[in-house]
Each structure stands twice: as C-alpha cells, then as structure tokens.
Amino acid sequence: MELKVGSEAEISTWEEVTLVYNAALRQMNTRIEILIDEFRQVHRYNPIEHTKGRVKTAESIVKKLKRHGYDATIPNMIKYVNDIAGFRIICSFTPDIYTIAEMIANQSDLKVIAVKDYIKYPKDTGYRSYHMVIAIPVYLSDRIIDTRLELQIRTVAMDFWASLEHKIRYKFEGNAPGHISRDLLECSHMVSALDERMKELNEEIQKLMNSEEEGEKAWKTV
C-alpha cells in the first residue's frame, strides 16, 4: 500500500495532536543520536552536550492562542502555533550551533520553514538562541504527515540564562521589576563574553593538541 502525503490540517483531535507531535520528537531525537554517533566515531569530537524535547500542554497552547487573539480550536493550534513540538539542542561552543543547524538543514527530507538567529541579533531582554522551524515527516500507517517542530540550539551558558529568564517571566507574568530586568540583561552580556572566551580557549587547546600530534608523527618517521 502506497502511503499518501497528508498534512497537519488533517489532524482533528487532541489525541492525534499528541500522537503526531510526539512522533516528530522521536524522529528528531533519532536523527540527533545518529549525528552524535558519527561525531564520536569519525571526528572524535561531540559538539552536543545534551538534548531535550517536549510537546506543549493543551493549557499552554490555549494560552498562547488567546494571547494572540485566536479561538482555542484544534485547527487554530495546528495553523498558528509553530512550537507545539519543541526540541532543544545544547552545544559546547557557539560555532557548534551553526554546524549543527547546517547539518539539520541539509537533510533532504526536512523542510526549513523559518530561521531566527537570536545569537547575532539578541532580543531586547538579552535572550540568545538559534531557532529553526522545520517540517519533519511522520510516517503513520496510511499517510505521511510533514509536522512542524521548533528547534532551539544554544550553548550551555545561553541555556542557563534562558532557564532563569523563563522562570522570572512566568513568576511576574511578564512584568518583572526593572532592576531584575536590568540585571538579567547584564548577565546576558556576561554570558556572551563567557561563550566567546571559552571558544577562544578551546581553539587554543585544539592548536596545541594538533601541534603535539604533528610532532609525534614527525618523530615516528625519523
């Protein structure tokens, strides 16, 4: 039986929402695990520290729809909410973020719908991360559904900052005291400086290691 190509618009119940978007997360997780295995075995280096995926709760999706003036219906969830399924990739260093993003974009059966680079262009709050909205194929018994999934790719330091900012934003419902917002912004600058310094340190370490390897090879040929 040939599978027909379906669309997210065919999803009509919350049960189908959880089925399809959880399947999209599993698909993404498998792809990242394969990349990690390749990096470890071929390149002897793994730029990915860890990953995390989640499907938004119905309550969270409804709040987001209402915040943007939409009725809380399944069709509106599918049409207007890009991050029903979210997958976060935590990298060691900033250049790793762009390496991983490019590898994902080059997978031929994925479609990149949107990209937002909050690293080169941080939000006013100081938020830094690399976002991609992709469509990933989910294979069901009778059809294939290209399912949107939001990827967030960031460093450990960026993720630590974003986690605290998220807690504060929900604690104060988006109206944190001015001095807290200013301190968060200052911390964001510190995180950026830390990431840059750690990148430079890692590059220096790699140069030293490469020099030692070249010296050992030269010694063996004598």
In 3D space, the residue among 50, 36, 150 whose CA is nearest the CA of residue 92 turns out to be: 50
Active-site residue identified among 150, 186, 196, 212: 150
Provide the token pair at 136: 């990933």
Q: d(Cα 78, Cα 139) in Å, to the nearest integer?
A: 18
Residue 186 annotated to the active site:
no
**Interacting residues of 89 by C-beta distance below 8 A, sequence separation 6+:** 32, 48, 51, 100, 151, 152, 153, 154
Helices (H), the chain: 14-38, 58-67, 74-80, 94-105, 156-171, 178-220
Nearest-5° Cα angle at 199, 198 to 204: 95
| Active-site residue list | 150
